[in-house]
Structure 1
Amino acid sequence: MGNPGIGSNGFCIRDEIGDLVYAQAEEIGHVTNNEAEICAIVQAVRCCNSKNLNNIIIQTGSQLIQKILEEEWKPPWNIAVWVDEIRELVGHIQISYTHILREGNKLADALANHVTDNGRVDNIINPTAGPDDYHQSSRIEEKISQD
């Protein structure tokens, strides 16, 4: 692995009480850790837009990315295009960015690691989803809570 190295990313969407609603992870090729983090946020914001979600809180394990998205710092050249895309996508929704410690980001990290070994994770978790849609991300989340 290393930085840069072969990367993957993951994100999860939770409702207002913290229940898991959606989870996705994918391999993204040869990237830096900052590229993987910003790419996950792009995917999450695209997903939120496609589901017409508003009042979004983006939690990132990277304080650098948080400061860039809050426009306190300028983005490095290698992530500037993704930052611009995020700013365009969130133009019409309420959004805030927070930095969280690694412990708070366990599910997204586990999804990213899981996809490296098992392929893409793309599960909608809702009452009409099939049992396989729910159980893959739920099993990962249960395993994480046991660790």
Structure 2
Amino acid sequence: MAIIAWAKAKTGIPYSVGDILRMSHSVTGEYKRVEKITTAWKPPSEGFFKFNFDGCSFGNPGAGGISDVIRDGNGNTIMSFSGPAGLCDANEAEARPLLFGLRWFNLHKLGPLIVEGDSSNSIAWAASRCAGPWKLTNILDEIRDLMRSIHPQLVHMHRSMNSTADALAKDGARRAHMDAIVDESLIRDC
């Protein structure tokens, strides 16, 4: 430390001795190797369906977008939608597509369902009877009712595994209308 204090005094480095110690890897060239997490979406097991949802808010609150993608065990897209959510905060933008997708899935009764999203709040609130912001009470109550009817498996996932729903939600926030694609032939096959 005495050497660092001496170097600081001689060179006029604008950092404290503690900062210099914390940044010592810059001087010594010793860097810790950081492993990049590479993840990819995986289809569900045969006979199951996977529902990925996402929402976004450009501001908090700000212009929001929502999206859902439901796929079968072969990775075929059964249904996808994206569109604007209006002025909302991030929590509402994440809860609304979860509700929409569960409503759609409950209507079509396709089979066992895995629900994946990168919103830890929405996943936790859907699994709990008492949690969530008061302004989302009606949305969360309906989500929980649908959960009791459908009995899906809830999975919180890394954002990189939810890239399709993420891109659709961001695109939806920039549009004035909802876009939906449903493959009726795949629904009839289920």
- What is the number of equivalent residue pairs in this alignment? 129
Pick 1 or 2: higher relative contact order, CA cutoff 8 A, min separation 6: 1
TM-score (norm 2): 0.62
Alignment of 1:109-120 (within 5 A): 109-118=166-175, 119-120=177-178
How big is each residue's C-alpha offset from its partner over 1:15-72, in whole Å with a ceiling of 9 and x where there is no partner? 1233221101121111111101100000000110121123211111111221111218
Asked if residue 9 in structure 1 is aligned to residue 66 in structure 2, the reply is yes
Residue in structure 2 matched with residue 94 of structure 1 by the alignment: 151
Residue in structure 2 matched with residue 36 of structure 1 by the alignment: 93
Give 1:116 deviation, angstroms. Answer: 3.1
Candidates 115, 119, 123, aligned match of 2:181: 123
Greater shift after overlay, 55-64 or 87-96?
87-96
Q: Larger radius of gyration, structure 1 or 2?
A: 2
Alignment of 1:47-58 (within 5 A): 47-58=104-115
Greater shift after overlay, 45-54 or 69-78?
69-78
Counting aligned pairs with the same residue, the percent is 27
How big is each residue's C-alpha offset from its partner over 1:93-116, in whole Å with a ceiling of 9 and x where there is no partner? 221211111111111111112223
Any unmatched runs of 5+ in structure 2? 1-57
CA–CA distance in structure 2, aligned partners of residues 57 and 25 of structure 1? 20
Greater shift after overlay, 50-59 or 36-45?
50-59
Residue in structure 2 matched with residue 24 of structure 1 by the alignment: 81
CA–CA distance in structure 2, aligned partners of residues 3 and 35 of structure 1? 10
RMSD, matched Cα: 2.1
Give 1:121 deviation, angstroms. Answer: 1.5
Greater shift after overlay, 82-91 or 30-39?
82-91
Residue in structure 1 matched with residue 51 of structure 2 by the alignment: none
Any unmatched runs of 5+ in structure 1? 129-147
TM-score (norm 1): 0.78
Give 1:5 deviation, angstroms. Answer: 0.6
Say if 1:54 and 1:94, in contact at 8 Å, map to a contact too.
no
The one-letter code matched in structure 2 to 1:94 is H
Residue in structure 1 matched with residue 139 of structure 2 by the alignment: 82
The DSSP-based 3-state class of the residue aligned with 1:91 is: helix
The DSSP-based 3-state class of the residue aligned with 1:11 is: strand
The one-letter code matched in structure 1 to 2:113 is I
Say if 2:116 and 2:157, in contact at 8 Å, map to a contact too.
yes
